[in-house]
Structure 1
Amino acid sequence: MAEYERSRTMPALPEQVFDRAADVGRFDAWLPGELHVHAEEPPAVTVHEDQGDRDTAAQLRTERDQMRIEWGTREQGGYAGWLQVAGIGSGASEVTVHLSFFDDRHDPGERAACDALDSSLRRLEQQVRLGTEHMSG
């Protein structure tokens, strides 16, 4: 089993960050570019991976009162992950994303996983900034 985790501070209230992160219709704006999530009957989703042109049955749960999103594969149990938003004062938040790969066939390796997590967190921060600028402007 392999596990990877990254965190990033964002200049917005935790509720604003969570709302942006948890909006399934906007996942493409911050997830790695090759992954696309299609909502089905909650909590079911399908994750399409461009690289292998394959769909994976997954589930997605959002817990707004805990500022947490959890996901994972439904049938194979190959991977799971979570995103946690925490307020750190002064209108800022820390976002942590964690991935667990239970099947080596799903594990992209440490470098690729950490690069994808860092890139996703940067993209999420950009989306949060755009959302907060739009709200204040």
Structure 2
Amino acid sequence: MTEYERARTMPALPEHVFDQAADVGQLDTWMPQDLHVHAGDQPAVTVHEDRTGQDVSAVLRARPEQMRLEWGTREQGGYTGWLQVAGIGSGASEVTVHLSFFDDSHDPGEQAVHAALDGSLQRLQEQVRLRVDNVAG
């Protein structure tokens, strides 16, 4: 099993960050750009991966009371992940994303995963900023 983790501080309340991250209709705005989530009868979702052209059955669970998202593949059991939002005071949050690959064939490698996680966290921060600016403005 291979595990990866990245974190980013965001200048927004944890509730705002979690609400944006957990919005199933907005997942494509911040997730890795080659993954597309199609909501089914939740927690069931289908994930389309551009790299392989395949649709994969997965689960996505939001745990608002913990400000946590959890996901993973269903039949294959190739990977799981979670996103955790924590308030760090002064209206800021820390967002941590963790991925576990149980099957090496699903693991694109450390450099690719870190680039994807960093890009996802950057896009999530931008989406949160836009949402907060729209509410405030």
Q: Give the alignment's TM-score, normalised by structure 2.
A: 0.99
1:90 is aligned to 90
What's the offset of the Cα at 1:51? 1.3
CA shift digits 1:14-64 (9 cap, x unpaired): 000000000010001001111000000010000000111100000010000
> Partners of 2:6 and 2:33 in 1: how far apart?
18
Letter in 1 for 2:98: H
**Which residue matches 2:10?**
10
1:74-128 alpha-carbon deviations (Å, 9 max, x no partner):
0110000000000000000000000000000000000000110000000000000
SS at match of 1:72: strand
SS at match of 2:57: strand
Shift of 1:65: 0.4
Query: Which secondary structure does the structure 2 equivalent of 1:105 belong to?
Result: helix
Structure 2 CA distance, aligned partners of 1:130 and 1:42? 27
In the other structure, the counterpart of 2:59 is 59
Q: Are 1:74 and 2:57 matched, yes or no? A: no
Q: Kindly indicate whether residue 25 of structure 2 is the aligned counterpart of residue 33 of structure 1.
A: no
Match of 1:48 in 2: 48
Q: Taking structure 1 as the reference length, what is the TM-score of the superposition?
A: 0.99
Partner SS, residue 65 of structure 1? helix
Q: Which runs of 4+ in 1 moved over 2 A?
A: none
- Between the aligned partners of 2:17 and 2:133, the Cα distance in structure 1 is 13
Give the counterpart letter for 1:20 in structure 2. Q
Match of 2:112 in 1: 112
Question: What residue identity is the alignment partner of 2:76?
Answer: Q
Q: Tell me the SS of whatever aligns to 1:121.
A: helix
Unaligned runs of 5+ in 1: none
Aligned residue pairs, count: 137
- Aligned partner letter, 2:72: G
